Structure 1
Amino acid sequence: MIPQRLVMSAFGSYAGREEIDFSEAGPGIFLVTGDTGAGKTTIFDAITYALYDQTSGGRREGRMMRSQYAAEDTPTFVEFSFQYKGQDYRILRSPEYERASRRRGKDGERKMTLERSSVTLFLPDGTEFTGKKAETNRKIVDIIGLDAGQFTQTVMIAQGEFLKLLSARSDERREIFSRIFQTDLYARVEQRLHEEAGALYGQMKDMERQEEQELSRLFCPEAEGLPEKLAEAALPKERLEAVRQILQYGRSREAAAEKKIRELDGELDKVNRELAVAQELNSRFARLAKERRNRAELQAKAPSVEQRKGRLERSREAALVCEIYERRQEASRQRQSLEKEIKGIQEKILQAGHKREALLKRKEKVLLEEKRCREEYRSLTEQIARVTDQASRLSGSRALLQKWESLEVQAADRKKRLRELRQKLPLLKKEEQRRDDCARAFEESRQAYQQAADAYLACNEAFLLGQAGILARDLEEGSPCPVCGALHHPAPAALPERTPDQAEVKAARRRRDEAEAEKDRRQQLLLEAGQRCTARLQSLLAEGKNVVGEEFSLESEDPERRLDREEKRRDQELKECRRQKEEAGQQVGKLEELEKARQSLAGQQAVCYKRQEEQQRETALADESLRCLDQSVSQAKGEEAARQAAREETAAREAALAREAQKALEESPFETEDQCRGSLLAEEEKERLENDLEDYRQKCIEADARVNALEEQLDGKEPARTESLEEQKKVLDESRREAEEEQRRWYSKNENNREAGERLKKIYGNNQKLQERCARLRLLDQTAGGSLPGRPKIDFEAYVQRRYFQQIIAFANRRLETMTGGNFVLRCRSMEQLGNRGSVGLDLDVYSLETGKLRDVRTLSGGESFMAALSMALGMADVISRSAGGIQMKAMFVDEGFGSLDEYSREQAIGVLSELAGSDRMIGIISHVTELKESIDRQLVVTKTKRGSHVRWSR
């Protein structure tokens, strides 16, 4: 990847739009320089954010990068153009952030709105990649071939990050490599092997428990030495043989019990047949005796049956006579009922006449009341019309009152905010005073730093001139110069009167560095004070524009005088609102009185209208009642005539039935009507007597038939004796029950032993295969987990990481030897030195090429550590590029670290980076080191101002 162009808008410390054209840097090394906090690292953050939606250090999200200096209408985005494998790509990405809305609300203020994050990828052919945000992010990773973690390790070497890999412990390097090289796959393989080995071991233990459980369920009879054989069996084959012998013995006992049951069944069948014949004969003799007793009992009931038969005949004769008497009584009851109905109809006609007179009087009274209600309703309608006309003229008073009440609240609120704004003006002055104090302090520190830097340069130059004078003092014509080797010395350097020594140079450099640190600290304080002052100023301006108006300014005139004038105007406005509100309130009071009067009149009108409707309904009801009353009287007279005719007809039928009843009584065996009625039986009693007589006759016939049939069957036979047969059957039943219990017991035990034997066969078969697999898997688990006895504790993941680590060290040493002048190289600790304690495999040592001895990497000095760490970072970049499939990264950025190097080491490190860059690679360095500013021509200068930072190229 080769960066081409970077555009940042309202991003980080850059308030507006800043554009960096990387083509001006060209291949080789360039320096990114500027004051502390100006935004040097933000450039690399912008590149990483454009590619991966996160910053280079990983500590800040994109939504945190909205510039505090940016104007409200300035959008926040990053646009990054780069070339990869000869193809041009462009990415436009913006974070999620809050900004002021472009429209004002009803209250005149702008509310905050959320700007959503977005990303757009333009392909080499100029088209836009179609896909959602997650799909676009994956497409960018596919193009570059590196994820965010690999990119920051190979291209964006963030400040202090590459020192972690050098001084980390073995287990810490393991975590770093796991993220970079994604070796967690091998850790999962280790875990999977360990889990499977543990699972197989658990299965073996489960099978052992199952075997013990099956053996405990086995029933072993105490016969033929079977318990001893089972106890002595050690191998699975021997145990299965013992189970087979136990099962064979049990089946023989079960067969013997079944044979005995069959023999007893034959004897029982013979006894049961003889006993059944004897019991059947005795049963018939018993039934004959019982049937004879039943027939005798029926014959004894004959007189009682004849008496009940006579009662039934007398009841039938009495029923014929009583039926005529009943018809006569029914005719008498009908006559009496008709006479009673005739009297009721006559009384009803009389009452209807009285009621008709009362209805006519009520109707006349209601008509008079209805007339009075109509006149009252007309009067109320005229009064309501007059009140409504008066209220309509005051109908707008309520809206007017609400308007002035709202305006009063708004005016009071504006006055309150105006007062609060005045209270905040002194705070702005305090912030400006602090900013000015910080500016004076920074200027003093800058001048002190400039003096210290000039003193150091003069001291260093005098020291170098002194060294040249010392060398020139010993030159002789014809002798070679120790510096250039020339034999002729036309103008040797003169020896100054006083030459500073190396200690004085170092002291001057230290004073310069301390002054620079103080200057940077004062500059940071000034930046923070300026940010606070700017934030206070922007807040006051925004609030002043909301309260006073868009014309509000803190520069055109004295803010206090402008606010006094505005406050007076607000007081006058509030006073006018209250006066208008009071007038509108008086009109609303009059309107409310009129509305109450109108409501009262409307209520009276409604009552009057309701009373009028009730009177109309009452008149209609009276008319309907008169009509119904006349109709019912006419109907009642017709019913009276019909009832008179029916009464005369019923009286004639009653006299005829009385004569017929007297004649029927004289012809019957009864003397009086009461005697006749006393012989009557109830229907239930008659039905019961008839059923009893029929049942008795049928029983007599059936009893004679049963006795005759049994006497014919038993003619010439005697009852049999069954005591001996029953005793014999009882003995055989008990023997069979015992034999059957014995057979069931042995069957149950044999089934249990058979099932146990089959399960043991299955267990032994599975266990043999499981043991072989468990042995192989346990060896793999110990090997992958680094737990083999007597071997270093290095697991599968650490072994793979160790291969990467050795490759990184090999690439790193190529550059480290150059940087250190062949002083030392790095070594991965050998397997023989690892031992068998803890997590090992990624330990790093330093090998001295001069002494041939090893020492711990943490013994390196600050400068040595930086060179070693930089070499490691470059070596890791080489390995990651290789492992990622030939990734072409033609750019690298290194953030700080050169301040810990002496002049020689710094020159060596810069030489290695220059060699690494070659003719087609770009390497950017962030640094405050003055010597780098002097030695690197191409510089990207970041300048910090009160309104945000700016960036430019300087040569």
Structure 2
Amino acid sequence: MKPLKLEFCGINSFSEPAVIDFSRLLEYGIFGIFGDTGSGKSTILDCIGFALYGKIARSRSTTVGDCINFSCDKAYVRFEFEITFEGSRRVFRIERELKRKNASQTVKVYERVEQGLLVRSEGVTESNAFLERIVGLEQKDFEKCIALPQGEFAQFVRSTRAERLKLVSRLFDLEEYGENLVKRANAACAAAENEKKLAITRLEPFAEVSEDNNTALRQRLEALEGEEKRCSAALASAQEREKRISGLYERAKEQASLRERAARLDCVRGEMTALEGEIGRLERAAAAVTAHSDAVRSEKEEKAARDLLESTQKRLDAARENGKALSLWDEKAADEALSALTERLVLAEQAEKQKKRREELEKKLNTARAEYMEEAKQFKGFSYEEERASLEARQKQLGSGNYFEFLEEKAKDALLKEEYATFAKELSSVYQVHPEAEELLPLIQKYQARCAAESGLKALREEFSTRERERERLSGQLIELEKKGGLYRAHLERLMHLQENGTRLKAELEELVPSEGNGESASALAKQLDALKRERAHNLAARERAGREVSGLEASLKAAEEKLLSAGAALVAAKVRLKETLEAAGLSSADQATALTEKYGDGKAARERLDRFKAEDAAVSARLKELADADLSEGTEEALSAAREQLSLCQKAFGETAKAAALARDELRRGEEALLKKRALEEEAKKASCRAEIAERLKKLLEGNRFMDFVAEEYLQNVAENASGRLLSLTDGRYFLRYEGGNSGFVVGDNLNGGKVRGVYTLSGGETFLVSLSLALSLSAEICLRSLRPIEFFFLDEGFGTLDEHLVDTVMDSLERLKGEHFSIGIISHVEELKHRIEKKLIVKKATETHGSQIIAE
């Protein structure tokens, strides 16, 4: 980063705007910032840090607003710088403002481009994140890089090992390798020990598990499996015997059953023989019975057709008489009466609608007039403009709300008198303690004379407070007036709306024209019209129904005549068929045929019953012949019971043996699984013990922050190597620096003395300064390496006050060698000798009673 321009105001002792043009200061590579102690030199660095990070590192207060100058309400910083960002050189400008009230900040980040300034970010959070990405360093690292306190590094060169390691750890944030790492190692050790104990505890339930136990279980299982096979063979033999005897028993039972069926067939054999002789005659008798049934049904159908014909003729005669009566109704006259009544109803409805609309409009008009009168009463006598003018005039009489303008107007030099009084009291206190300081008496008398008159500041403060309270009260009244004004404007709009609504209703009421109604009731006319319509519809429908009914009855009469003819023909045919079937069966009447069928049943059913008898008789005889050739002597109930009892015993024995084998098999499986798990847990316990041992060794290795010290020593080696190169450059190749670690610390070698090394305690003041400067630059470079941002400028803050004139020349010659095109050095000091050696410089003057700190460029 290379600073270009810095503008600020209101920070610490700077109450007026200050501008620093770094582009001019950095022309020769070295510039100085000089001023008395407390003049505000370090405030310049504070402003750069505040612009970049929004914080002032030196401030002990947590509130940034405490850094605002007491005479200012706000402070601002505008900082422009050049930096390599995203692979190219770019120029950015930061504008940050801080207000005393609530310590609120506003910030914008611009980038300078060919067209001008381009806004890149806005807002505190967004801008701070963007700036940290640009700079690449946190605030503490940035300040370590650009501000090198020489006195601290001179002490660092001669410090003890512990002090050196502490400083390096702080500069490079190595605390994470110290106590934090030790705590983590202790925690890891405790966790590993707990894991080891847990693994051992998990092994305890498997103490009895072993390979020998599993071998015994396998032997027992083999014996049980042999017994299981023997029982299985015995069971199969018992099942086969039980199956054979059961079959013989079932065939013996079948033989007995067939003999019973044969006996029952013999009982009905004579009946079946008689039925076989009458079967032909029975079938003809059944045909005669069927013909008789057909004749009876045809006779009934003929009678029903005759009755239907008579009833249809009577209904047709009645329908023709009803049609004659309906033909006398006049449809045209009914239509004319309906039309006239409809016209009267339309006129009556129009008249009633106009009357109802007039009543509604009159009611709305009266309501609108009442609402207008009620609304007009609400703000009667109110004038918004007059009340506002009165409040603003009373506010103007109170004057400005700025306390300092009030004091300037009322007190003039009251503030200065107050300061004189305070200073006179302090001089008097000093004189009372040191009476010998008689030269203070004229000053005491001088300042007491200036503040003899009462300043009246307390009374002025009270008056200002009273005015502030009155101003706040009037402001509150103005706010309330604005609210009331809004309501008043809404009131006027409502009045206008009500007036327009009343005018519209009145005009609409006047536009209504009286109707031509004759005073008849629309509802009564509607009822008459509905009755007339129903009567007309009824007559039309009745006439239509009567026509359809006559046509339908005529068709029904014709169908009844045809049905009667058909039924008569069918009756004659049925009687002829009955006579023929009786003669064929040799029967004289239908009653004889019915008696024969009742005795033997239906002919078809009788033949089927005879066929079933013959089939069953043949089947029973054939099966009995087959069974007569088989040996069924063992097919007894006693033999079957004994076979089943033996089968039950074999099943029980096999079940018990199989269950014992299954239990033994499951026990062996569980034993083998437990053995595998035990071996896995033993392996896990072994690993846990190994981890616990390693964690314990690591814990002991890291005790006492030894690892942080080791890392810090490595950093010191790198820093010393880098610083040695810078020291060789500063001393024209004479001195080099080496870090030997331990209590030896830094040693310096002299190439003009054969490379002989000596301790840093033997160095002169100028040599110590050069070694300190080399270390400071090296440390700063190491810090910047972490952000991948090169150092382009830095400040040497103090450390020059103890140098004599000769050492000042040596230091300046060394700094001249350091400067370059891309590397600038700023010296912050109050040493006069340095001021004359540096061409480009800033002179910072202390703040006084009349003005703040000031910067003069030379």
TM over 0.5: yes
1:761 aligns with 2:679: yes
Match of 1:708 among 625, 630, 635: 625
2:629 partner SS = helix
User: Aligned partners of 2:682 and 2:385: how far apart in 1?
Assistant: 94
User: Aligned partners of 2:459 and 2:273: how far apart in 1?
Assistant: 141
The residue that corresponds to 1:442 in the other structure is: 415
1:256 partner SS = helix
The residue that corresponds to 1:836 in the other structure is: none
The answer to whether the Cα contact below 8 Å between 1:892 and 1:922 also exists between their aligned partners in 2 is yes
- Once the two structures are TM-superposed, the CA of residue 674 in structure 1 deviates from its matched residue by 14
The residue that corresponds to 1:773 in the other structure is: 691
Residues 953 and 354 of structure 1, relative CA distance in 2, 3 Å threshold? farther
The residue that corresponds to 1:464 in the other structure is: none
User: Aligned partners of 1:305 and 1:175: how far apart in 2?
Assistant: 135
The answer to whether the Cα contact below 8 Å between 2:33 and 2:41 also exists between their aligned partners in 1 is no
Q: Which residue type is aligned with residue 747 of structure 1?
A: R
The residue that corresponds to 1:80 in the other structure is: 79
User: Aligned partners of 1:531 and 1:690: how far apart in 2?
Assistant: 138
1:200 aligns with 2:160: no
1:888 partner SS = coil
The answer to whether the Cα contact below 8 Å between 2:272 and 2:610 also exists between their aligned partners in 1 is yes
Q: Which residue type is aligned with residue 556 of structure 2?
A: R
The residue that corresponds to 2:226 in the other structure is: 259
The residue that corresponds to 1:366 in the other structure is: 338
The residue that corresponds to 2:564 in the other structure is: 651
User: Aligned partners of 1:511 and 1:4: how far apart in 2?
Assistant: 51
User: Aligned partners of 2:71 and 2:312: how far apart in 1?
Assistant: 111
User: Aligned partners of 2:22 and 2:261: how far apart in 1?
Assistant: 135
The residue that corresponds to 1:865 in the other structure is: none
The answer to whether the Cα contact below 8 Å between 1:82 and 1:90 also exists between their aligned partners in 2 is yes
User: Aligned partners of 1:33 and 1:154: how far apart in 2?
Assistant: 23
Residues 689 and 208 of structure 1, relative CA distance in 2, 3 Å threshold? farther
The residue that corresponds to 2:260 in the other structure is: 293
- Once the two structures are TM-superposed, the CA of residue 652 in structure 1 deviates from its matched residue by 3.1
The answer to whether the Cα contact below 8 Å between 2:94 and 2:110 also exists between their aligned partners in 1 is yes
What's the CA shift string for 1:555-577, capped at 9, x where partnerless?
Answer: xxxxxxxxxxxxxxx9xxx99x9
User: Aligned partners of 2:465 and 2:25: how far apart in 1?
Assistant: 32
- Once the two structures are TM-superposed, the CA of residue 775 in structure 1 deviates from its matched residue by 0.4
What's the CA shift string for 1:397-416, capped at 9, x where partnerless?
Answer: 99xx89x9899799755555
User: Aligned partners of 2:38 and 2:304: how far apart in 1?
Assistant: 135
- Once the two structures are TM-superposed, the CA of residue 151 in structure 1 deviates from its matched residue by 3.1
Q: How does 1:445-484 map to 2 (within 5 A)?
A: 445-448=418-421
The residue that corresponds to 1:245 in the other structure is: 212
- Once the two structures are TM-superposed, the CA of residue 640 in structure 1 deviates from its matched residue by 3.3
1:888 aligns with 2:791: yes
What's the CA shift string for 1:353-397, capped at 9, x where partnerless?
Answer: 54983865643332212333555688899999999999xxx9xx9
1:4 partner SS = strand
The residue that corresponds to 2:21 in the other structure is: 21
What's the CA shift string for 1:422-480, capped at 9, x where partnerless?
Answer: 565576579769746786542113334676899999x9xxxxxxxxxxxxxxxxxxxxx
Q: How does 1:854-873 map to 2 (within 5 A)?
A: none
Residues 646 and 282 of structure 1, relative CA distance in 2, 3 Å threshold? closer
Q: Which residue type is aligned with residue 883 of structure 1?
A: I
- Once the two structures are TM-superposed, the CA of residue 51 in structure 1 deviates from its matched residue by 2.0
The answer to whether the Cα contact below 8 Å between 2:77 and 2:97 also exists between their aligned partners in 1 is no
The residue that corresponds to 1:819 in the other structure is: none
- Once the two structures are TM-superposed, the CA of residue 418 in structure 1 deviates from its matched residue by 4.6
The answer to whether the Cα contact below 8 Å between 1:153 and 1:876 also exists between their aligned partners in 2 is no
User: Aligned partners of 2:313 and 2:777: how far apart in 1?
Assistant: 130
- Once the two structures are TM-superposed, the CA of residue 95 in structure 1 deviates from its matched residue by 6.9
The residue that corresponds to 2:757 in the other structure is: none
1:646 partner SS = helix
1:939 aligns with 2:844: yes
- Once the two structures are TM-superposed, the CA of residue 923 in structure 1 deviates from its matched residue by 6.0
- Once the two structures are TM-superposed, the CA of residue 212 in structure 1 deviates from its matched residue by 1.6
Residues 249 and 708 of structure 1, relative CA distance in 2, 3 Å threshold? same
Residues 367 and 952 of structure 1, relative CA distance in 2, 3 Å threshold? farther
User: Aligned partners of 1:427 and 1:308: how far apart in 2?
Assistant: 146
Match of 1:324 among 295, 302, 309: 295
Match of 1:638 among 548, 551, 558: 551
The answer to whether the Cα contact below 8 Å between 1:91 and 1:119 also exists between their aligned partners in 2 is yes
User: Aligned partners of 2:512 and 2:556: how far apart in 1?
Assistant: 64
The residue that corresponds to 1:5 in the other structure is: 5
The answer to whether the Cα contact below 8 Å between 2:3 and 2:22 also exists between their aligned partners in 1 is yes
The answer to whether the Cα contact below 8 Å between 2:3 and 2:82 also exists between their aligned partners in 1 is yes
The answer to whether the Cα contact below 8 Å between 1:892 and 1:924 also exists between their aligned partners in 2 is yes
Aligned length: 724
Q: How does 1:133-532 map to 2 (within 5 A)?
A: 140-141=131-132, 144-151=135-142, 181=173, 183-184=175-176, 190=182, 193-194=185-186, 196-215=188-207, 218=209, 243-266=210-233, 273=240, 276-297=243-264, 299-300=266-267, 317-337=288-308, 339-340=310-311, 343-344=314-315, 353-354=325-326, 357=329, 362-373=334-345, 412-414=383-385, 417-418=388-389, 420-421=391-392, 424=395, 435=407, 441-448=414-421
User: Aligned partners of 1:388 and 1:725: how far apart in 2?
Assistant: 111
The answer to whether the Cα contact below 8 Å between 2:347 and 2:517 also exists between their aligned partners in 1 is no
User: Aligned partners of 1:592 and 1:14: how far apart in 2?
Assistant: 75
2:137 partner SS = coil
- Once the two structures are TM-superposed, the CA of residue 207 in structure 1 deviates from its matched residue by 2.5
- Once the two structures are TM-superposed, the CA of residue 939 in structure 1 deviates from its matched residue by 1.9
The residue that corresponds to 1:484 in the other structure is: none
The residue that corresponds to 2:724 in the other structure is: none
The answer to whether the Cα contact below 8 Å between 1:211 and 1:763 also exists between their aligned partners in 2 is yes
- Once the two structures are TM-superposed, the CA of residue 258 in structure 1 deviates from its matched residue by 2.6
User: Aligned partners of 1:380 and 1:725: how far apart in 2?
Assistant: 111
- Once the two structures are TM-superposed, the CA of residue 329 in structure 1 deviates from its matched residue by 2.9
User: Aligned partners of 1:251 and 1:537: how far apart in 2?
Assistant: 105
User: Aligned partners of 1:409 and 1:804: how far apart in 2?
Assistant: 87
Q: Which residue type is aligned with residue 922 of structure 1?
A: G
The residue that corresponds to 2:669 in the other structure is: 751
Q: TM-score normalized by structure 2?
A: 0.60
- Once the two structures are TM-superposed, the CA of residue 705 in structure 1 deviates from its matched residue by 3.4
User: Aligned partners of 1:595 and 1:16: how far apart in 2?
Assistant: 76
What's the CA shift string for 1:189-226, capped at 9, x where partnerless?
Answer: 5565455444433432332233222336x4xxxxxxxx
The answer to whether the Cα contact below 8 Å between 1:5 and 1:81 also exists between their aligned partners in 2 is yes
User: Aligned partners of 1:149 and 1:119: how far apart in 2?
Assistant: 21
2:791 partner SS = coil
User: Aligned partners of 1:640 and 1:13: how far apart in 2?
Assistant: 129
Unmatched runs of 5 consecutive residues or more in structure 1: 99-113, 159-169, 219-242, 460-498, 513-521, 549-569, 787-791, 809-829, 832-848, 850-871, 899-904, 927-935
Residues 658 and 266 of structure 1, relative CA distance in 2, 3 Å threshold? closer
1:703 partner SS = helix
The answer to whether the Cα contact below 8 Å between 2:249 and 2:632 also exists between their aligned partners in 1 is no
- Once the two structures are TM-superposed, the CA of residue 776 in structure 1 deviates from its matched residue by 1.0
- Once the two structures are TM-superposed, the CA of residue 710 in structure 1 deviates from its matched residue by 1.6
The answer to whether the Cα contact below 8 Å between 1:153 and 1:877 also exists between their aligned partners in 2 is no
The answer to whether the Cα contact below 8 Å between 1:54 and 1:61 also exists between their aligned partners in 2 is yes
User: Aligned partners of 1:691 and 1:66: how far apart in 2?
Assistant: 134
2:687 partner SS = helix
The residue that corresponds to 2:728 in the other structure is: none
Q: How does 1:521-670 map to 2 (within 5 A)?
A: 588-589=501-502, 591-595=504-508, 632-660=545-573
